[in-house]
Amino acid sequence: MSAHSQAVPHDPHFSVVSAPAFTREHIADLAAGRRAAVRVPGLLPATTCAEILRALEASPFEAYGRQRVQPPVMRFGVGVSDHRTDGTLADSYWPAAEAARNAWDQLGLPYDPFTLCREALGVNWPGAVAVGRQDGRELAPGVAREPNYGFQVHFDEALREFRGDLLDSPLVAQFAFNLYLSVPKTGGETVIWRHRWHPADESHRLPQSYGYSETVVGDAESAEITPAIGEALLLDPRNFHAVRPSEGGRRIALGFSMGLSITGDLLTWG
């Protein structure tokens, strides 16, 4: 028995597993809250990751909304979080998504990186893995993110962030997908706490921010993941999570949100 298990009881339903591929069980376990995260090293071939990274390194990233996202996080592409007003997806999202699509096209890659990710995620899934739609319009497929100064402690849950259903097909669970293309020499760890949002947590919210003071998680059990190039991470984003600041190199990942829809399909969005 380890010192840890003697001192602090461990929740067997809060664990991180590493596997050669995403299985149905992994996705079901995440959806059901029986697992914190699943790592798949080498989800895409190393040569593909290097090619996507080369294209991105030569491209200008933009910052997420600087009021809400401090310290700044850079992105290539668009996410719903910058276009949310009063719990709805603002009209401004659609031209931004169109511009992002063009920017990704102009990288000149012979494939769409997000399509490759969806295909790899779906190898063992009986339903489709497709980009989600709202009023018939396809959302953005994902975004490249560069949180060199880290992400504050936060959670992601469209059911709480949006009024009604974000997508045409209602979701019964949500996941966060990341595929790491570039990692720093030190830092850049992803930390996940066994703590889900509770109304009283709002007293820990950082003013005007997407994030919370780390006091919000108290002494909850946590798991720390040091990302590796080519590795995919699928996590339950209802659990509060953060990214630690990086040193010695850019931390760039492809990322998107994914929902399990009532149809049994997995639907993604940026």
Ligand X SMILES: O=C(O)CCC(=O)C(=O)O
Interaction site with ligand X (CB under 6 A)? 151, 156, 176, 178, 190, 233, 237, 241, 243, 253, 255
Residues linked to residue 85 through DSSP beta bridges, in sequence order: 88
3-state class of 7 per DSSP? helix
Find the distance separating the first CA and the last CA of the chain, reported in whole Å: 42
Q: Under the phi-then-psi rule, with left for phi > 0, alpha for psi from -120 to 50, and beta for the rest, what region is 248?
A: left
- Between 22 and 175, name the residue whose CB sits nearer to Fe ion: 175
Binding mask 138-167 for Fe ion (x = CB under 5 A): ------------------x-----------
Binding mask 102-141 for Fe ion (x = CB under 5 A): ----------------------------------------
Q: Are 180 and 227 in contact (CB under 8 A)?
A: yes
- Between 48 and 226, name the residue whose CB sits nearer to ligand X: 226
* Alpha-carbon Rg for the chain in angstroms: 18
d(CA 122, CA 262): 17
Of all residues in the shown chain, the one whose CB is closest to Fe ion is: 156
Q: Are 197 and 238 in contact (CB under 8 A)?
A: yes
The one of ligand X, Fe ion, none whose footprint includes residue 179, by CB under 5 to 8 A per kind, is none
The one of ligand X, Fe ion, none whose footprint includes residue 195, by CB under 5 to 8 A per kind, is none
d(CA 129, CA 267): 6
d(CA 260, CA 263): 8
Asked if 236 is part of the footprint of Fe ion (rule: CB under 5 A), the reply reads no
- State the minimum distance, in angstroms, from the CB of residue 113 to ligand X: 16
- Between 184 and 237, name the residue whose CB sits nearer to ligand X: 237
- Between 29 and 156, name the residue whose CB sits nearer to ligand X: 156
Q: Which amino acid is at 230?
A: G
- State the minimum distance, in angstroms, from the CB of residue 151 to ligand X: 5
Would you tell me which residues interact with Fe ion (CB under 5 A)? 156
